Copies of this chain bind each other. A is one copy, B any other.
């Protein structure tokens, strides 16, 4: 399998380190994916025979771009041109995307699918804003469109919900899907820190994006909840059908008042008849009251009643394990297709 990486941030770098770990699951499965091209904001490196991961990481570290990695490999292709022209079976779409438009992610994914590439993205934009058309496009082109890492980082939230919805009836779902706001609200609760101060802290710790409005306004968790609803619960809900309230109007006074009543303010995502993202005071004894930057999903179902999954919701390495999961699924699909193709070739040759 030859991989083309669009974007080379924390997740892409973690993935490269994970793939060079010789105990990684793809090595165990006998498959050896080759990175044939990497594009970052400043340029790209390409080698049809496979780029050296260690050299890519070193060059990025010293030069701030992979473009200088291999003289032979420097090229001036745009991401869209690279997706069309680089010979690679799988496109990893890991570049920053505008969450309002889903661009350039949606265009990258669309172009890759149309050109017969399997696609893995960790961008919420494409699956949140264009899941159904992109899924149809993937089917038409007989390729895979996967996005495990868009919700929960390495915590398999999407798979857990989808599996449960297959064999049981999910009556309602409550979740905490944004580590940044969960951390901010916990700081306000624990240390009576103002929101501004807590936000600065979380940015210093590297959890939050420089532009944290996506978190604070609840847009990031709303996009994740859209992906859960449409992919794992097979519902048809667009992001603009959500009841969305961010934490921007939560005051320290309100947090401390609830605290005296034994409740913590949490940014709760929920789906029952409606889909809602809003700050809510939760009894501290409730298992949904997780702290730190953890994510959590709690399902109420008809037969198994209640189940909860908790884990870190982001981070380069955890998200890279979600990409590995998608790579393994694609490898399995390819294997099944190859078997069929071989059979058909034999029939033709007969």
Q: State the A residues within 8 Å of B (CB).
A: 14, 18, 23, 25, 153-156, 159-160, 163-164, 166-169, 287, 290, 303-312, 315, 317-318, 320-322, 324-325, 328, 336, 339-340, 343-344, 346-347, 350
Contacts and interface: CB of A to CB of B under 8 A. Distances in A.
Given A163-B325, A167-B324, A340-B339, A307 B309 contact: yes
B321 A168 contact: yes
Contacts of A328: 166-167
The 6 closest A-B pairs by CB, nearest first: A154-B304, A307-B311, A303-B317, A304-B318, A167-B324, A343-B343
Contacts of A303: 14, 18, 154, 317-318, 320-321
A63 to B, nearest CB: 27
A308 B311 CA distance: 6
A190 to B, nearest CB: 14
B317 A306 contact: no
A321 B305 CA distance: 11
Contacts of A290: 287
30 contacts: A23-B169, A25-B167, A154-B303, A154-B304, A154-B307, A155-B304, A155-B307, A156-B160, A160-B160, A167-B321, A167-B322, A167-B324, A167-B328, A287-B310, A303-B317, A303-B320, A304-B311, A304-B312, A304-B317, A304-B321, A306-B312, A307-B310, A307-B311, A310-B310, A336-B336, A339-B340, A343-B343, A343-B344, A347-B347, A350-B350
Contact of A343 (B14, B153, B340): B340
Contacts of A304: 153-155, 311-312, 315, 317-318, 321
Nearest to A295: B307
Contacts of A317: 303-304
A16 to B, nearest CB: 13
Contacts of A23: 169
Contacts of A315: 304
Nearest to A323: B167
A188 to B, nearest CB: 20
A350 B23 CA distance: 45
Given A307-B310, A311-B306, A318-B303, A168 B156 contact: no
